[in-house]
Amino acid sequence: AGLLVLAVLWMTPGPAAARYNRAGAINYASRWCGNARNGAYCDYGDMSGDCVNFVSQCLLAGGMNLGDPDVGHRGCGGTYIDTEHLDTYLRRGHATVRWQDRTDIVAGDVLMLADCNSRRRYHGVFIRRTEGAGARKRIWIDGHTSNRCNTEYGFNSICGYYYHITEDCECN
């Protein structure tokens, strides 16, 4: 009888990893973009800017944990507040990252603007929606610091990293 109990316990699946909820992240971004601020989080607008803090809030609303202890510096509410740390977190299996290639980008993903020469990231925005495909894909963004809501992103001479959040990320 004891062997039977062990076999049943061994075959019982553990909790399933949560999937990224794009709709939840997009709904959050729509509610709190621009000048709107969620009082559950600090506002870093008077310091270095609130852009990555806002993007982190959107990802949290989509079910991402953002709790990697090896990544480091986070603000109140568990958000990242600078491009370096959010980039490190996303590159650890949570997103596919491409320089200047928006082919795979969809609503619910992230864009970090960067210097075209040094490729140093300096600003983050949340991608609310996209239209089209390939090099002609159009993107609308939400953000803080520059306070944008559903604003079409112009590609003129601005460079950036595109982060496609993987659907099977380990969000919990």
Q: What is the DSSP string of 1-59?
A: -HHHHHHHHHHS--PPPPPP-HHHHHHHHHHH-TT---TTS---TTTT-SHHHHHHHHH
- What is the C-alpha to C-alpha distance for residues 7 and 138, in angstroms, rounded to an integer? 53
pLDDT tens for 37-66 read 999 998 888 777 899 999 999 999 999 888
Q: How far is CA 10 from the centre of its chain?
A: 36
pLDDT at residue 134, rounded to an integer: 80
Quote the DSSP letter at residue 62.
T
- Stretch 2-30: mean pLDDT: 65
Confidence of residue 77 (pLDDT cuts 50, 70, 90): confident
Q: Which residue type occupies 79?
A: T
Quote the DSSP letter at residue 115.
-
The pTM assigned to this predicted structure is 0.85
- Stretch 139-153: mean pLDDT: 93
